[in-house]
Amino acid sequence: MENPQAQKPWKVEYAKSSRSSCKTCKSPIEKETLRLGKMVQATQFDGVMPMWNHADCIMKISNQIKSTDEVEGLELIRWEDQQKVRSYVQSGGPPDTSPATSEFTTKECGIEVSPTSRATCKQCSQKILKTEVRISTKPEGQGPRSLAWNHANCFMELSPSIEVEKLPGWETLPVSDQEAVRALVKKVPSNAGTKRRKDAGDDQKSKVARSEGDVSTSRDVSVRSACDVGDKLG
Ligand SMILES: [Zn+2]
Ligand SMILES: [Zn+2]
């Protein structure tokens, strides 16, 4: 056993089984996945126990870990994973996402059918065409006029847990658009399958047997947990 005084607040390791689940996203942590545990006082015995999270989930949130000295086991994991943790700790934030892309709440957002083709999607920098469904976000600290627009599907990738049906404006959407957006929600999380990701789409399609005939409309995507999407490096 370790000296309690040397107990570090965090522990990192590869999951030894698939039994733990992530306290952040609630999904299971699969065996061999890098996980970060926050050491907390155990309720059932005198000591501490780790509350496990996907390392990726922890590192999506800024300033969770103040110093690499707080992380037990850091030197035992693979070098590239150590570097990932170090760069997260040193930068005090997620490796490659800006703070502005954190989850939104429905109150900050709105959904509508785009009346013009003038707005540009904040996520993919492409035009949002007239009649496409778009979702507005309000940058923090700015007035209601400074809305940012996003394609519905781009937005879903960013904020998959958003409850679209609670977005202001939802009830103004035609039913067909509501269905389309609901379908997006189900599809998320996936990095493929949106019509804008041509490369990914083609790749997917080539894996589907052509002999099936009309599989053209199926956008099969592998089901992954929310945490595996996004910045899974290497
Ligand atoms: Zn997670
Ligand atoms: Zn977009």
pLDDT for residue 226? 38
Is residue 158 located within the same domain as residue 192? yes
d(CA 171, ligand 2 centre) in Å: 22
Is residue 212 scored above 60 in pLDDT? Answer: no
Please say which residue of 58, 73, 97 terminates a domain. 97
d(CA 189, ligand 2 centre) in Å: 16
What's the CATH code of the domain at 12? 3.30.1740.10
pLDDT for residue 143? 60
Please state the φ and ψ torsions of residue 226, each to the nearest 5 degrees.
-55, -30
Is residue 64 located within the same domain as residue 46? yes
Contact 197, 163 (CB under 8 A): no
Q: Which ligand number lies closest to the CA of residue 152?
A: 2
d(CA 33, ligand 1 centre) in Å: 10
- Is residue 184 situated within a structural domain? yes
Give whole-number Cα distances, 181 to 112, 117, 159, 168, in Å. Answer: 11, 19, 13, 14
Please say which residue of 81, 97, 113 terminates a domain. 97
d(CA 48, ligand 2 centre) in Å: 45
Is residue 107 located within the same domain as residue 92? no
Query: What residues make up the domain containing 146?
Result: 101-204
Give 159-180 pLDDT, tens digit per residue. Answer: 888 889 999 999 999 999 999 9
What is the overall mean pLDDT for the chain?
Answer: 79
Q: Which ligand number lies closest to the CA of residue 132?
A: 2
Is residue 78 located within the same domain as residue 142? no
Q: Is pTM, for the whole model, over 0.75?
A: no
pLDDT for residue 162? 84
- Is residue 63 situated within a structural domain? yes
Which residues neighbour ligand 2 (ion) by CB within 5 Å? 121, 123-124, 151, 154
d(CA 18, ligand 1 centre) in Å: 13
Work out how many domains the chain is built from and give that number: 2
Give 52-83 pLDDT, tens digit per residue. Answer: 999 999 999 888 999 999 999 999 999 999 99
